[in-house]
Amino acid sequence: MLSRIPIVTRALNPFEKEYFNYQAELERRLMRTFPQYYYFKKGTLAERKFLDIQNGVISKQPNVWYPKGIPDVKHGRDRRFKQNILIPGEEANKNDEKNLSRPIEVNARVTEADKTNNMSSLNRKLSHTLYLIVKEKDQWKFPSFNLESQSLHTAAEKGLVDLGGNQIKIWTVSNTPAAVIKYCEGELVAPTYESPDERIERHYIIKSHIVAGSFQPMNIEYKWVTNDEAASFFDNSYFQQVRHLLANF
C-alpha cells in the first residue's frame, strides 16, 4: 500500500473558518502595542514615513459623546480595537525577494491535474491522501509482488522500485504487515477462513509512503486515488477488507 500523504491542509468548513478568525482577531486585539520606538529612532525620516501612513486614532475630548464608547488611547493606539501596522512602501522591484512590501501570492489549491482529472499524476488532490492502485487481470487493486528469499518489507520495497523506477524514494511505515488478504483457488475469502485441504494464497499488506522522486511505471495501468475514489475502482469484497486501512482525508 503505497500512499502520498497530504501536501496542504484540508479546506475548512464555515464553522471552523469563523472559529479561527475569531481566535486570530482576539489575539490581535489583546496583543501588546507595536513598539515603534524600538524600530524607528525618534525624530528620524524613517519614523516620519512610518507615522505618515498609519491610520490615526480619535482621542478623548471633553463634552463629546462617542457612539462606540470612550476612546482608550495609549502610545498612539486605541486599545479597544486591534492594531493594524502598515509598512512603508519600497521603490524596489516587487518581484525582488528582499522587498518586504511585495504582495504575497498564494498558490492555488486546485492544480492542473485536478482540472483535467489526471489520475496518474501525484500533483492532484493536494489535501487528501492518495493511494497507488494498479490494474491486474482486469481488476484494480494494490500492487502485489512475489515473495522470494527475503523479508516482507524488503520484497515490497524492491517491488515498488522495479514497478515505478529507481527515481522513486519511499519510506516503509513498519516491517510488520498492516493486514492480510486471503485467496482460495483465486477467490477472495474472509481473513478468518482456514482450510487444511485447499491451498490458501496470502497477500500481506505493507504500508509505505512516497516521500520524494517521481513514479514512472512501465507497461502497466495505474492510478493515484483517494479513499472515496478507491471505492469506485475496487471490487466491493476487496474494498471491504482494506477500507479500514485507508485514511479519511
Tell me the per-residue pLDDT of 118-139, one tens digit each, with 9 for 90 and over: 999 999 999 999 999 999 888 8
Q: How many domains does the chain have?
A: 1
Q: Judging by beta carbons within 10 Å of its beta carbon (0-12, 13-18, 19+), is residue 210 exposed, middle or buried?
A: buried
CB atoms within 10 A of CB 199: 8
| Structural domain contains residue 71 | no
Vertex 163: Cα angle to 227 and 182 (nearest 5)? 60
Q: Write the CATH number for 201.
A: 3.90.79.10
| Structural domain contains residue 169 | yes
**In contact, 3 and 173? CB cutoff 8 Å:** no
Three-class SS state of 181: strand
* The pLDDT of residue 95: 61
Host H or E run for residue 210:
strand 208-213
Stretch 76-104: mean pLDDT = 71
| Structural domain contains residue 50 | no
Whole-model pTM? 0.76
| Structural domain contains residue 183 | yes
Backbone angles phi, psi at 52, to 5 degrees: -65, -30
Residue 144, CA atoms < 13 Å, CB-side half-sphere: 15
| Structural domain contains residue 138 | yes
Three-class SS state of 211: strand
Tens digits of per-residue pLDDT, 135-165? Answer: 988 889 999 888 877 888 888 988 898 888 8
β-bridge pairing 77-78 and 73-74:
antiparallel
Per-residue confidence band for 87, with pLDDT thresholds at 50, 70 and 90: confident
Per-residue confidence band for 96, with pLDDT thresholds at 50, 70 and 90: low
* The pLDDT of residue 77: 83
* The pLDDT of residue 170: 92
**Cα 233 to Cα 144: distance, rounded to the nearest angstrom:** 16
| Structural domain contains residue 185 | yes
Q: Which three cell numbers, joined as nine digits, stand for 73? A: 488611547
Q: What value does the mean pLDDT of the chain take?
A: 86
| Structural domain contains residue 91 | no
Q: Is the pLDDT of residue 94 over 60?
A: no
Place of cell 485507508: 246
**Cα 249 to Cα 10: distance, rounded to the nearest angstrom:** 8
* The pLDDT of residue 198: 67
Place of cell 519510506: 171
For residue 123, give the amino acid letter: N
| Structural domain contains residue 152 | yes
- List, in sequence order, every beta strand (DSSP E) within 114-160: 130-136, 139-141
* The pLDDT of residue 85: 83
Domain span at residue 150? 2-7+113-245
The residue ranking higher by pLDDT, 232 or 195, is 232
Tens digits of per-residue pLDDT, 209-220? Answer: 999 888 888 788
**pLDDT over 90 percentage in the chain:** 35
For residue 65, give the amino acid letter: W
**In contact, 212 and 4? CB cutoff 8 Å:** no
